[in-house]
Amino acid sequence: MKKLLVFGGTLFVGRHMVEAAIRAGHEVTIFNRGKTNPDLFPEIEKLKGDRDGGLSSLTGRRFDAVLDVNGYVPRIVRDSAELLKDLVDHYIFISTGAVYQKPARVGYDESSPVETVEDEASEDVRAHYGALKVLCEQQIEHAFPDRTLVMRLGLVCGPYDESDRTTYWVSRVAQGGEMLAPGEPDQPIQVVDARDLADFAMLALEKKFTGVYNCTGQSLTWEQWFNTFKQVSDSDASFTRIYDREFLRNELPNPTRPYGAYPLFMAESMGHWWTANSDRAQALGLNYRSMTDTAKDIFEWDKTRPIDEQRMSGLTSEEEQMLLRKWHERK
């Protein structure tokens, strides 16, 4: 049993990690502002505070390990690292595959070049997400030398994922009928279930893993992906493949959802983004449940959401119908 401090822990990735830590019998403390899902986890200690300048509830506290899920700005990450460096043995920092330079080469791994930002004091996370995560990783490695594990996550999916990037496709396939499917059937896609990441984080905690690890998903093709979703929801969906990017761009120029109208259909500038190599983490014990199990759980979770909840990505049915009609007229 470890005394574990989690930065964050109540939205999606961190929430699954906290659930896994409680299941594993660790003594879990979460630190956040108490705004996101404040009623979750009544059985554990909750420290209220703000990572940006509001760390006083952590003063003098000792933990075996930290699981830092919500570090984005190097200055803010440095502040908590400085406060905790002599009070914590092991630090797990949740980073991202977005640290790698684009266009990605096939099978890029932990040795591949990472993003940089000219002004390292920048706090513009939207513009420099990957580069700032690299600098956050460095802050932790500096404060906890040989005691840091960095998990560079690929695109994460699963219940509680409010970005809808995977959920949109699962739920659209389930609705059935003719649907727009971007991408050629044999194009790869790589998503990882948040619960598999949580299991790996728990193993890392127990074994005190250190170093930098890609934690991206297993490689599937869009064809395998859609067919899995179809089977899970027993759907009659038929896929009209539109991989003419210009057509998609021109016909739907201003999609309003934050994560776009065709989630996970990557821009050419990303190169071979969906081919990241996670062999090192897999060798240590990162395992993947089947996409069938993941899709089933996403499907069930999605059904629990309010019907009128704003979706963060995907097409509205009117947009999809319009695109399909124009596509057929064009041919």
> Quick one: tokens of 145?
């030398």
Least distance between ligand NAP and beta carbon 327 (Å): 29
Residue with Cβ nearer ligand NAP (79 or 293): 79
Least distance between ligand NAP and beta carbon 227 (Å): 23
Scored b (16 or more CB within 10 A) or e, 164-197 reads: bbbbbbbbbbbeeeebbbbbeeebbbbbbbbbbb
Measured CA to CA in angstroms, residue 68 lies from 6, 32, 191 at distances of 6, 11, 21
Residue whose C-alpha is closest to residue 276's, from 194, 215, 225: 215
Residue with Cβ nearer ligand NAP (264 or 315): 264
Residue whose C-alpha is closest to residue 243's, from 189, 176, 180, 190: 180
Residue with Cβ nearer ligand NAP (34 or 185): 34
Least distance between ligand NAP and beta carbon 11 (Å): 3
**Contact set with ligand NAP (CB under 6 A):** 8-15, 32-36, 50-52, 69-70, 94, 96, 153, 155-156
Least distance between ligand NAP and beta carbon 65 (Å): 15
Residue with Cβ nearer ligand NAP (33 or 296): 33
Least distance between ligand NAP and beta carbon 32 (Å): 3
Least distance between ligand NAP and beta carbon 246 (Å): 27
CB-CB neighbours of 307 under 10 Å: 5
- For residue 182, whether the previous peptide bond is cis, meaning omega lies within 30 degrees of 0, is no
Residue with Cβ nearer ligand NAP (32 or 233): 32
Residue with Cβ nearer ligand NAP (33 or 311): 33
DSSP 287-314: ----HHHHHHHHHHHHHTS-TTPPPSSS
Residue with Cβ nearer ligand NAP (13 or 232): 13
The residue number with the shortest CB distance to ligand NAP is: 14
Residue with Cβ nearer ligand NAP (214 or 233): 214
Strand stretches in the chain, DSSP E: 3-7, 27-32, 45-48, 63-68, 88-96, 148-153, 155-157, 178-182, 188-193, 211-215, 218-221, 238-242
How would you class 126 by CB atoms within 10 Å of its CB: exposed for 0-12, middle for 13-18, buried for 19 or more?
Answer: exposed
Least distance between ligand NAP and beta carbon 88 (Å): 17
Least distance between ligand NAP and beta carbon 321 (Å): 29
Residue with Cβ nearer ligand NAP (79 or 251): 79
d(CA 328, CA 331): 5
Residues 31, 7 contacting (CB under 8 angstroms): yes
Measured CA to CA in angstroms, residue 287 lies from 10, 18, 58, 215, 271 at distances of 23, 18, 33, 10, 26
Least distance between ligand NAP and beta carbon 73 (Å): 9
CB-CB neighbours of 43 under 10 Å: 6
Placement of tokens 């041919």 in the chain: 331
